[in-house]
Amino acid sequence: MIDIKSIQTDRLILRAWRDSDFAPFATLNADPEVMQHFPWLLTRAESDDVAGRIVARMAERGWGWYAVEVKGGEPFIGFVGLNVPTYEIPCGPCVEIGWRLSRAAWGKGYATEAARAAVGFGFEILNLPEVVSFTVVANTRSRAVMERLGMIHDSANDFDHPSIEEGHPMRRHVLYRLTASDWRAAAG
Ligand SMILES: CC(C)(COP(=O)(O)OP(=O)(O)OC[C@H]1O[C@@H](n2cnc3c(N)ncnc32)[C@H](O)[C@@H]1OP(=O)(O)O)[C@@H](O)C(=O)NCCC(=O)NCCS
């Protein structure tokens, strides 16, 4: 097992979760702006459940959705990292890059900075051939992060999310891909 406890960037630390992260995570999961592209806001109990599953998966694999801390600043602004989707999507089995930051942490380049480091870790340490990402069609901020990372929209494989009910406006998802070879070519 490759056990990566933390990843550092210029401004951020991607690290293992602490118990003290659960409360600020619940706050962002209850923020309608952060959760605009999710079907519902999370209660404290639901948020703790999600955080608990993230922690368990990280313990199992040695990597995952890291808690993000600002160096010399906020101890917890959300999560960024890699995950293996548990439901069926048109790339499985695959590894996705994902992110969710508190509203106050948007507009500073933190998501892209953390995601670049996580993708680099995926290709260089885990030797993944490809990383994917997906979101609801209307989530332009998230799609912009994917595009900044150099991910390519694979429109032929856009899909209806299996855990969102038929007819729901958030059901349709766009799929973006980044191969290790494209990543290395862009890095020069
Ligand atoms: C998706 C999400 C992580 C994007 O966050 P973000 O802050 O917009 O993304 P980035 O980290 O790439 O920051 C880019 C912005 O920071 C600005 N910025 C400021 N200082 C910067 C710096 N030093 N370096 C880079 N960018 C900087 C950029 O100009 C850009 O601004 P713009 O959005 O006005 O064009 C955030 O909106 C979020 O958490 N959303 C809710 C959860 C969600 O939808 N997750 C995805 C579900 S699949």
What CATH number should be reported for the domain holding residue 157? Answer: 3.40.630.30
- The pLDDT of residue 153: 98
Residue 126 located in a structural domain: yes
pLDDT (tens digit per residue) in 170-181? 999 999 999 999
Residue 155 located in a structural domain: yes
Ligand 1 geometric centre to CA of 112 (Å): 7
Ligand 1 geometric centre to CA of 145 (Å): 7
145 in contact with ligand 1, CB cutoff 6 A: yes
Residue 68 located in a structural domain: yes
- Shortest-distance Cα residue to atom 43 of ligand 1: 100
In angstroms, how far is the first alpha carbon of the chain from the final one? 29
Residue 1 located in a structural domain: no
> Per the structure, how many domains does the chain have?
1
Residue carrying structure tokens 């599953």: 53
34 in contact with ligand 1, CB cutoff 6 A: yes
Q: Is the dihedral of CA 62, 63, 69, 71 positive or negative?
A: positive
Quick one: average pLDDT of 120-139? 96
pLDDT (tens digit per residue) in 51-69? 999 999 999 999 999 999 9
Residue 132 located in a structural domain: yes
Probe residue for ligand 1, chosen from 11, 101, 170, 173 as the CB with the greatest number of ligand atoms within 8 Å: 101
pTM: predicted TM-score of the whole model, two decimal places: 0.97
Q: Which residues of 54-89 are buried (b: 16+ CB within 10 A; e: fewer)?
A: bbebbeebebbbbbbbeeeeeebbbbbbbbebeeeb
Tokens of 87: 């439901």
Tell me which residue range forms the domain holding 19. Answer: 6-187
Residue 117 located in a structural domain: yes
Quick one: average pLDDT of 98-110? 98
Quick one: average pLDDT of 68-85? 97
Residue 16 located in a structural domain: yes
Residue carrying structure tokens 């959300």: 78
Ligand 1 geometric centre to CA of 1 (Å): 32
